[in-house]
Structure 1
């Protein structure tokens, strides 16, 4: 009975053990072609070998291995074939993996970044220790640093090309700068550089004389004793068109959004925007491919009558000046149960949107829009690219919707203040391109009466040699819903050699994607086909012999030093491995942590006790049975 009593009580005890947690050490290695260009591949591998085989370092740290070029990889395999370098993205990726932990990062690189945000200004809670690989000697060098040019030009017009030229050296030098269209020289000028004037900015006006995509090469002649001439040349392209889409923007109020919409739309010279007060417009709506109604109010009454007759495509932007009572009567497929109050709301991107291809450009970080308070109702099928996010809560109420009503296409932004979006987009990326492309995608969808194609393909016009060609296709069913059941393939043909390459597509993020590598420089045409169907799309692109990873003459010690200072680390050179290891070992911030683990255990293992009791009772029963007591 005593055992039964103890079993029922089930006494417990607590046992404390110490778990030893070693601090992490992230080794982040540049796996791009620039490392092999500087002939540092063997040096960087030897450096890593010494780090991994240092007993004291292995005892103190849990070592994690990463490589990067365009993207971050959890790996220690190196081939130094990466065609792009994004140091900012690699460090940010490690930050996300480590969270709030204080993890030192050893960055083994030449410091030359070809894509991404400026890494030297990156704010890091984790100390970064750059280790410099590459030539630190600066040689005399001239280069074409950057070319700014519009994507499109109108036939027989002049289009500006802005060229940034740079010189690194001591004395005064001269070079000839030229622009070629194929074999033809379309511009040439002698340029003089000196230590006091190391930069030149040229603006060249070229004539758009041939319809279609025109390819150009900008080049600086080699100067005396110049070691690297790869960066003396850059390629660019311009598509020449012979017609423009006309867009009409009507408003009864003054607002920064109006100027923003005009700039964003006209950033593509295929489009022109006429802005007019609604009370002053006397023209014919049929002259325009698209009409934008900005915060329509009672003054739009006559225009609404014309719109019903013309059945023109509409882009509507609402706001606090919108007359919702009037707008609700227009039968555009949506109404709002509005109140006389206003509200601000942020936005959330909807990856399921499939009316046209639009990537997330950071919509969730954009400032809130302002509109009348109330819930929206739709009487026509619609798709939402953006929905409301209020105090971190994502709702089903749309911010940007598109709908088709008979022969009319309509897009609506429910809220004013998108001018701030363009400003934030520029501050974050240094360019208006992403935002202007977003507005351009809406205008392109609305600007045609033609039936929408089920298959759309996005490619660049120019690719650098040895770069990965990421081709994105978008395929829908007959109801224009994204169809992930199809099989797509792309066939690429070299126009000169007729050699073909065929690759399949895979479904990723509501699109079909294919990566093509190994194509030689030259002009190519492509065909994307949906297997078993008649849907096809065609296009052209050019691969140019631009080895961007080989355009650097020395390691960028200045930026790496700035990164180290800002991140609380220190800069080291490839021959200072002993100093680096000593610094890590002596740094008390990276000590081992002893974490107590408390475990509650049963004082008596009741399962064994129960087994013993059953055994005893069973034995007693058999004995009694045997001796006849039962």
Structure 2
């Protein structure tokens, strides 16, 4: 069809040229210059008509794509513990500098410990090892490319899913290289210890210890739990080749308030090479009483179960649900939650005011807003029988407690009263209402202080939906329960608010990431983002002093204490240019999971890729040979076709202008203009 249009354009251009210069429909006498003028006019008209046809031309280019070689280096401390760090570095350098590899592969380098990241240095200081991530993540990141993943590791994994069950897709070839002695030596080990973080004074708390033995002969060892120089429990444990593990379950008594540091240990065997995995330090924070919380409600609703479970997720809290007809004595509780209040709550509200109790009011399906307005002086709600469905907008400037890590943007809608909320005091809003795509400044969840009491208000029915959404997103309720727990912690105490608040735990494990948060408020109790905060830690035994600055992150300050070493510390946080400081103490318990291994481990890799596909330190030439022989890892020639329209060709416009100019000049020269 395009050819027909070109032929038609040729005919039209010829007719226009012949007509213009008198070759058709004219009796004028031709001169010898006219054929050249007609030819120039023909070219001009033909070129313009061609532009209208919008002709397109394709261009095909070819590119050779090399296969990917992803080098994953185990950067965890167990490599140095097994004394193979220099061997690994040597093999790594040989691999990436090998001429055959450089000529035939596109090389990308990564390191991994608990996370996979681009390789910038090899220091073998990773606190955990997740080999599963090192196998899975490259497959997701380069899912459309043929690739080889070379993993340089000791095969010992301390976190994440078991890599022996990892999935390898059809575009990926895995080449593990194992470093370290794979010989099995006799070894006793405490593999896991389970204990509750909190206990109550003079109560028993359970401890569960998993012990194991690697060896061929029958052995007997002494198992102990000690606190300082005091032995709290001991027993004999017998292991053999057939009976290689034992679970010890026992109950211990918490005898004094504070952090109780303990140690579980197995007496080492004479032939053991590594005894650092024979013991495990742990701690329990002993508190002298529970926070008692009353939920008062006259209706049955899923919200009640969700609220109770969220609060009770912390064992320091005792939650009970009662009706108003039960006439509960509010003096027995630290705080009261009023769910869906109506006239029947009049006595309870009156008693709460007399006892200066902190309260949390949550509206529900039978809330009497006229009654609620009569009880409240801090706020009122316009009376309307209609309801709205709203979603939450988290107020990142909320200062009552730390909101770092919380996100509720995609939570399902809940039902709220249609009427607007009028505040008679300055509230601290935790969440605003979002109605459809409209973000409002109307409070959905807020707190306020009145005289010496604290109060929270949640103006919505559907609390249970948000707790369920937390599980759908995180596979647990932790995110939501911690937010509710922070709200309860704020309401369960009448302690006067300080301008400097430190959020920390009394003990941490050495292999954890240790983050301490701080809230610094100005004299109007609004968040101050220009503060300079420093923490000074002093080791109680050695008096060694450590100073760490806080960093501003969102609406709080934080300091990272990871890697400061095990021990008991006292600390002081000071604000420069302000007479504010807070002191406390914390313990860091010794535990290095990377020191639990005495040899390399190749059995999981053999199950993953096959016995013949596992290589060992120094076998780089064999690895290179296998990489070159693998048909998956061959260069691919990829063609790409690009299309260009004739109308985009700038030179064509220049040709048209040149033809018109030349024709004009020749006509002028010959006196035809």
Q: Which residue of 1 aligns with 2:640?
A: 596
Instruction: Report if the CA contact (8 A) 2:386-2:417 is conserved.
Output: no
SS at the partner of 2:91? helix
The reply to whether residue 505 of structure 1 matches residue 550 of structure 2 is: yes
CA deviation after TM superposition for structure 1 residue 65, in Å: 0.9
2:587 corresponding residue in structure 1: 542
1:491 pairs, out of 536, 560, 566, with 536
Pick from 334, 353, 364 the counterpart of residue 289 of structure 1.
334
Structure 1 Cα separation of the partners of residues 277 and 44 of structure 2? 87
Q: 1:416 maps to which residue? A: 463
RMSD of aligned alpha carbons: 4.6
- Distance in structure 1 (CA, Å) of the matches to 2:246 and 2:62: 65
Aligned-partner Cα distance in 2 for 1:299–1:497: 62
Structure 1 residues 123 and 456, CA, compared in 2 at 3 Å: closer, same or farther? farther
Contact 2:416 2:461 in 1 (8 A): no
What is the CA distance between 1:48 and its match in structure 2?
A: 2.3
Q: Secondary structure at the match of 1:135?
A: coil
Is the contact between residue 139 and residue 169 of structure 1 (CA under 8 Å) also seen in structure 2?
A: yes
The reply on whether 1:47 has 2:91 as its aligned counterpart is yes
Which residue is equivalent to 1:160? Answer: 206
1:247 corresponds to 2:247: no
Alignment partner of 1:67 out of 85, 96, 111:
111
* TM-aligned CA distance change 1:450 to 1:471, over 3 Å: closer
Q: Which whole-Å deviations, capped at 9, do the CAs of 1:208-247 have from their partners, x for residues lacking one?
A: 2222222111111112422221111111112222233221
CA offsets 1:477-534 (integer angstroms, 9 cap, x no match) = 4455443221111111112222212122222344323334664443211111121112
Shift in CA distance, 358/123, structure 1 to aligned 2, threshold 3 Å: farther
**Residues of 1 paired with 2:104 and 2:432: CA distance?**
49
| Larger Rg computed on CA atoms | 2
Deviations 1:56-95 (A, max 9, x none): 4434432211112233321242111222334455566656
Unaligned runs of 5+ residues in structure 2 are: 1-39
CA distance in 2, matches of 1:395, 1:123: 44
Aligned equivalents of 1:86 and 1:411: distance in 2? 44
Aligned to 2:598: 553
User: In the alignment, what sits opposite 1:136?
Assistant: 182
Q: Which of residues 602, 606, 615 is equivalent to 1:573?
A: 615
SS of residue matched to 2:464: coil
Distance 1:272 1:69 in 2: 40
Equivalent residue runs for 1:353-368 within 5 Å: 353-360=398-405
Choose 198-207 or 216-225, whichever is displaced more.
Answer: 198-207
- CA contact 2:146–2:632 (8 Å) conserved in 1: no
Q: Measure the CA separation in 1 of the matches of 2:384 and 2:149.
A: 54
Name the residue aligned to 2:23: none
Residue 555 of structure 1 and its aligned partner are, at CA, apart by 3.7
Which residue matches 1:627?
A: none
Match of 2:35 in 1: none
Select 1:524's aligned residue among 565, 569, 573: 569
Q: Secondary structure at the match of 1:231?
A: coil
Q: Decide which of 401, 419, 441 is 2:486's aligned counterpart.
A: 441
**CA distance in structure 1 between the partners assigned to 2:587 and 2:244 by the alignment:** 32
Unaligned stretches of 5+ residues in structure 1: 625-630
Contact 2:388–2:418 at 8 Å: present in 1 too? no
Question: Larger deviation: 180-189 or 96-105?
Answer: 96-105
Deviations for 1:550-572, whole angstroms, at most 9, x for unmatched residues?
A: 1123444455456669xxx9962
Corresponding position: 1:271 with 2:313: no
Structure 2 SS opposite 1:230? coil
Match of 1:211 in 2: 257
> 1:476, 1:91 → 2: CA distance?
46
Further displaced range: 247-256 or 88-97: 88-97
Q: How does 1:317-336 map to 2 (within 5 A)?
A: 317=362, 321-323=365-367, 325=369, 329=373, 331=376, 333=379, 335=381
Match of 1:150 in 2: 196
Scaled by the length of structure 2, the TM-score of the pair is: 0.75
Whether the 8 Å contact between 2:574 and 2:581 is mirrored in structure 1 is yes
CA contact (8 A) 1:247 1:289 kept: yes
Where 2:326 maps in the other structure, the secondary structure is coil
Query: Could you tell me whether the CA contact under 8 Å between 2:290 and 2:317 is conserved in 1?
Result: yes
* Stretch moving more, 326-335 or 535-544: 326-335
Q: Which moved more, 1:263-272 or 1:138-147?
A: 263-272
Alpha-carbon spacing, 1:532–1:134, altered in 2? closer, same or farther (3 Å): same
Deviations 1:414-467 (A, max 9, x none): 5232696499389847xx766654432221122122233333334454455587
Gap change, CA 1:398 and 1:214, over 3 Å in 2? farther
Equivalent in 456, 461, 472 of residue 501 of structure 2: 456
Compute the displacement of 1:574 (Å): 2.4
Aligned length: 611
For residue 223 of structure 1, what is the aligned residue in structure 2? 269
Cα 1:470–1:405 shift into 2, 3 Å: closer
The answer on whether the counterparts of 1:170 and 1:195 sit within 8 Å (CA) in structure 2 is: yes
